[in-house]
Chain A
Amino acid sequence: MTETPVDRPEVASQLSSPTRPMYWSIRREIRENRSIYAAPVVCACITLFGFLISAITLPHRMRAAMADPGKLHSVVAMPYDTTAGLILVTAFLVGVFYCLDALYGERRDRSILFWKSLPVSDRTTVLAKAAVPLVVLPLFSYALILVTQLIILIISTIVLLGSPSQLAALYQNLKFVQLSVALFYAIIAIALWHAPVYCWLLLVSGWAKRATFLWAVMPFLAIGVFTKIAFNSMSFLAFLGHRIGGWFNKAFLVPQKGAPHLDPLMAVTPGTFFSTPSLWLGLIFAALCLAATIRMRRYREPI
């Protein structure tokens, strides 16, 4: 087809105003789903509030643990680990529920007809939705964890100012920079490890006409229960657990009980993590789910 020539130059410039469909698609996802940032922030506030209360007894607890290096380390590290853990779990849950609604909600409220009236391809739309749990949430959680931990560190420093020995013990046991680097590595590992989970949820969200959560979870539970009853085998249920929490053992060296605590950067094992077959199988599964989701969105109409 030949384009009709444009005779007015001011119209010509309008015709090709630059667009950024991927950027705007991700931006609208964040605007429409405020839980993406609100839930982790609420979670961070709760941990901060909890730490404020515990800060009253911090000098006392540190004095009691000064003699035992292992105990001292856990007293120092506990709030930082808890903050990171809690925010990461929240981000995971937010990601799960976001994915379940991502392609189901737009069909239920019929807004899919509005989105489809604009020149944004199904591929861009689905990839933008996948980017929320795989890129946006991890990066946001990381920044939030860093800020929260920094605030905790500042409060601890102020509380311990009266006792130079305890302050020294705090900074000896807390390698903040190394911890941040290790955390960034963990964030990447978790995102890659959970990619098949999120992409499966997106697929179900694009396919199911109702009860997305049941459709997403029941097949796996059914297989798990069936294999347990029929063959008394826990292997499928173990596989499900591995799919959720297995990243930790692969990405980090888990210290033996009673062994001295490792420097955070000594514990990372990217070699093991990236040579784990189930990581790559999971990523292939994720890619297949995404391809199917993109294809399916072409056929989808309001429900």
Chain B
Amino acid sequence: MACIEAHGLRKAYGDTIALDSVDLNVDEGRILGIIGPNGAGKSTALHAILGLTPYQGELKVLGRDPWSQRDALMRDVSFIADVAVMPRGMRVSQAIEYVAGVHPRFDRAKAEGFLAKTNIKHTSKVRELSKGMVTQLHLALVMAIDAKLLVLDEPTLGLDILYRKQFYDSLLNDYFDRSRTIVVTTHQVDEIQDVLTDVMFIDQGRIVMECGMEEFESRYVELMVRPENLAAARAFRPMHERQLFGRSILLFDKADRDELVALGELRTPGIADLFVAVMGNHGADQ
């Protein structure tokens, strides 16, 4: 069943077009990463999905219209829209109490269990916690909600690598169960490469690339070419070429691996490398 369905989704702020007729289909049980430069329309897309902003076009989330049926939708959807939006004056125990008081699908014992694994004290106020701890607290609250869709907008921005790693580890191990759907945007692209089932690049309000991670691994290949083979490799029409330690690295889309392997070393590219390649080509088209 489709968790998110969008047809011709459009949103403009004055003359600025944030989303330009986006078609989107996210099935249940996927972990979709939305990657794009700043101002590409990622947050606008997520805000539309969460019913935080009105839009034009057709959009259904879990079968509901997020703008007109937001109150009902929020029982099945949870989100972390930004780092550090937890109310700063609240104590940890009060935050748990409050969510338990308003959310019918919040499992208090579960949240307490997640928090027990951290150094967060119940009596601390949010403003006394470090940024990483606030994120841990927010994630503990969100993971204790039995939601069908979880939306994460730059959830680990400004956190150190230990917290970031831990964040995605607990998300995969303690939360994701293949019936839930997760949509995440981030700039730390390569860190979530193994987490995702699908990836989507978005630029200037349009989707410029989307594919499943299995397809990603079979379709794209990077060749670290031996210098003497450079001309031969270029004949296979790489989509992007870059230099690393004096050697050329060529990125191919749907190339014949058997022929390429004779010219150098093959490997699966990182999402970030593909992103740079796609964005570079996309920018050159204009």
User: Does chain B have a CB within 8 A of A15?
Assistant: yes
Cβ contacts under 8 Å, A263 to chain B: none
User: Does chain B have a CB within 8 A of A211?
Assistant: no
Query: Secondary structure of the B side of the interface?
Result: loop
Cβ contacts under 8 Å, B50 to chain A: 116-117
Tell me how many residues of A have a C-beta within 8 Å of chain B: 35
Bound complex: CA A52 to CA B67 (Å): 59
User: Does chain B have a CB within 8 A of A25?
Assistant: yes
User: Does chain B have a CB within 8 A of A111?
Assistant: yes
User: By CB atoms of chain A within 10 A, which of B78, B102, B103 has the most?
Assistant: B102
Bitwise interface map of B from 61 to 104 toward A, beta carbon under 8 Å scored 1, else 0: 01110000011001100111110111111100010001111111
Assess whether A28 is in contact with B98, with CB atoms less than 8 Å apart.
Answer: yes
If A21-B102, A109-B88, A119-B75 touch, whether A14 touches B94 (CB-CB below 8 Å) is no
Of all chain B residues, which has the CB nearest A115?
B87
User: Does chain A have a CB within 8 A of B208?
Assistant: no
Assess whether A17 is in contact with B78, with CB atoms less than 8 Å apart.
Answer: no
Residue in A15, A31, A106, A110 whose beta carbon sits within 8 Å of that of B105 in the complex: A15
Bitwise interface map of A from 23 to 54 toward B, beta carbon under 8 Å scored 1, else 0: 11101100110000000000000000000000
User: Does chain B have a CB within 8 A of A114?
Assistant: yes
Bound complex: CA A299 to CA B70 (Å): 12
Cβ contacts under 8 Å, A31 to chain B: 89-90, 94
Assess whether B98 is in contact with A111, with CB atoms less than 8 Å apart.
Answer: no
Of all chain B residues, which has the CB nearest A119?
B74
Total contacts A-B at CB 8 Å: 92
State which residues 98-122 of B face A: CB under 8 Å.
Answer: 98-107
Residue in B80, B88, B89, B101 whose beta carbon sits within 8 Å of that of A117 in the complex: B80
Residue in A17, A21, A106, A121 whose beta carbon sits within 8 Å of that of B106 in the complex: A17
Bound complex: CA A124 to CA B215 (Å): 46
Residue in A1, A32, A116 whose beta carbon sits within 8 Å of that of B64 in the complex: A1
User: Does chain B have a CB within 8 A of A229?
Assistant: no
State which residues 133-149 of B face A: CB under 8 Å.
Answer: 138, 142, 146
Assess whether B85 is in contact with A113, with CB atoms less than 8 Å apart.
Answer: yes
Bound complex: CA A114 to CA B89 (Å): 13
Q: Which residues of B contact A (CB under 8 A)?
A: 47, 50, 52-54, 62-64, 70-71, 74-75, 78-82, 84-90, 94, 98-107, 138, 142, 146
Q: Which residues of A contact B (CB under 8 A)?
A: 1, 11, 14-21, 23-25, 27-28, 31-32, 106, 109-121, 298-299, 301-302
